[in-house]
Structure 1
Amino acid sequence: MAENIARVFADAIAPDPTRPLLTWYDDATGERTELSGATLANWVSKTANLLVDELGLGTGDTAGVLLPPHWQTAAVLLGCWSAGLTVAETPGEVDVLFAAADRVGQAEAWSAGDRYALALDPFALPMRQVPPGFADYVLEVRAHGDHFTPYASGAEDLVERARRRADELGLAPGDRVLIDAAAHPDPQDWLLAPLATAATVVLCANLDPTRLPSRTETEKVTRTLT
């Protein structure tokens, strides 16, 4: 059976689920959020359970994702792939849509029965005001279970693409990769390619170049993508 993203994710965290897998910085707000493999896996499972148990979705269904690089985006994407959904790359008709609060206006280009908004606030706080026609992802997803058995099918093609991209970016197994979110907004770069090589990520939004030297040392970065 072809390998899928859910299997790659599981393999990436298996050696040590407690090690930092994805560390998020936003230099505009000063936020730093560090997720171990186990913590991110819990968010991924909750998302997959939301899709399967609450919405009745699975293999063959589609999701639209209007989200910037962010640790919560990683949870949404990996949750969709774990549940067997295909993430659409262009606007159109989908079964579920996830949108950042500042991108809900773009949702008009998508047709979706269920819509979730993400504030992307520090500490995953619930939204102060939920946009009309949307549910609050953070509020809804917390009610679901921490464990999910990924579907065996779905997103096989993404694995090969991710491995090719990892080669292009010069990533190696065990790398600690600092990534400028603005320069590499494609999930192939900031999420899938590192996972495919069992690398860990320091994802930086609004990156302040003056902080690079100290952050590289503090986070034990071995590869920088800016």
Structure 2
Amino acid sequence: MTTPADLLGRALRRDAAAPLVTQYDDATGERVELSGTTLANWVAKTANLLQDEFDVGPGSRVAVALPVHWQTAAVLLAVWSCGATVVDTAAEDDGGLDDVDVVLAAQDRVPAIEEQGVDDLLGLSLHPLGLGMTGYAGSARDFALEVRVHGDHFAPYAPVEPDALGLRVAGLELTLTGLVAAAEQLADRLGVRDGDRVLITEDSAAEAGPVVWLLAPLAVGASLVVCRHPASDQLKRRADAEGVTATLGVGLDGIRELGRPATS
């Protein structure tokens, strides 16, 4: 039975050197591009960090309080590689963290989470070069500093159970294999195709959720162009430069919009 970690493995076997996730941020001017190999390296390091430092494995619950971001993609795939459950708090709701084992949060959300008395907390600066948090003096551990010392290859200590819970968000629960099945169904429904280069904006991806913005493209062999804080006048130029073949949640002239019927 296929799990989310297997989807990344498929991408590596297909073309490990090809761009898999490319991210723009118009608020900072950054552009970050990750091949399948580079993303897999981040996933392995993150999974090793979670397993070795926080005992994350099957049955563990990991809260993810992160925006749509390439580092979020690595974190999600790492949690699933450990066979653990992602508790998605991306909707800016930091309540209900009493029953989780570890929290990974964007730096701007760390103080509010610390007030809940969370013991195992990793803060992410989300810096484009992978640098650590600045101007922070709390007790949270710094993801960027911690992750770099961990291994480039990951093997779970305990076998991953495909039928174990993989995602809990807004009352919805999906197993690890259920995540893949849902991703494949959504890819088919939206019209994502093998080889597509899919442009998504931060807002549309956050609304759709990680099964749509991350797993559905992976499930069918597509790659991603993520636009954070997008300047509307830049999107078409970005799409042309990146060879975008489809968009999600944004209409651009001459490019197929996923989930919308074709027009003649």
- In the superposition, the TM-score normalised over structure 1's length comes to 0.93
- Corresponding residue number in structure 2 for 1:177: 198
- Equivalent of 2:241 in 188, 197, 218: 218
Q: Structure 1: how far apart are the matches of 2:152 and 2:11?
A: 18
| Residue 137 (str. 1) matches residue 143 (str. 2) | yes
Q: Secondary structure at the match of 2:120?
A: strand
Q: Please give the per-residue CA displacement for 1:174-223, whole angstroms capped at 9, x wherever unaligned.
A: 10000011112121222111111110000000111211222111100000
Matched, 1:64 2:63: yes
SS at 1:88 equivalent: strand
Structure 2 CA distance, aligned partners of 1:57 and 1:126? Answer: 22
Q: Which runs of 5+ in 1 are unaligned?
A: none
Match of 1:166 in 2: 187
Q: Gaps (5+ residues) in structure 2?
A: 90-95, 163-175, 251-264
Q: Distance in 1 between matches of 2:78 and 2:203?
A: 23
The aligned amino acid for 2:220 is T
Which of 1 and 2 has greater Rg? Answer: 2
Deviation string 1:42-92 (CA, Å, 9 cap, x unpaired) is 000001101112222211111000000001111111111001110114633
Deviations 1:134-171, CA, capped at 9 Å, x for gaps: 10001000010000135542422111111122123221
3-state SS of 1:78 partner = helix
Shift of 1:96: 0.8
One-letter amino acid matched to 2:187: A
Matched AA of 1:11: R
SS in 2 for 1:15: helix
Indicate the residue corresponding to 1:85 in structure 2: 84
Kept in 2, the 8 Å contact 1:101–1:131? The answer is no
Cα 1:144/1:114, change in 2 over 3 Å: same
In 2, the alpha carbon distance for the partners of 1:110 and 1:196 equals: 37
Q: Which residue of 1 aligns with 2:104?
A: 98
Question: Contact (CA 8 Å) 1:13, 1:37: kept in 2 or not?
Answer: yes
**Residue 94 of structure 1 aligns to a residue in which SS?**
coil
Distance 1:194 1:32 in 2: 20
Q: Distance in 1 between matches of 2:188 and 2:120?
A: 37
What does residue 153 of structure 1 align with? 161
2:58–2:160 CA contact under 8 A, matched in 1: no
Q: CA deviation at 1:109?
A: 8.4
Q: Matched residues, percent identical? A: 48
Residue 124 of structure 2 corresponds to residue 118 of structure 1 = yes
Q: Tell me, what secondary structure is at the counterpart of 1:97?
A: strand
Partners of 2:183 and 2:115 in 1: how far apart? 28
Which deviates the most, 54-63 or 32-41?
54-63
Cα distance change on mapping 1:76 and 1:82 into 2, 3 Å: same
Q: Matched residue of 1:11: which SS?
A: helix
The one-letter amino acid paired with 2:138 is P
Counterparts of 1:132 and 1:109, CA distance in 2: 11
2:113 corresponding residue in structure 1: 107
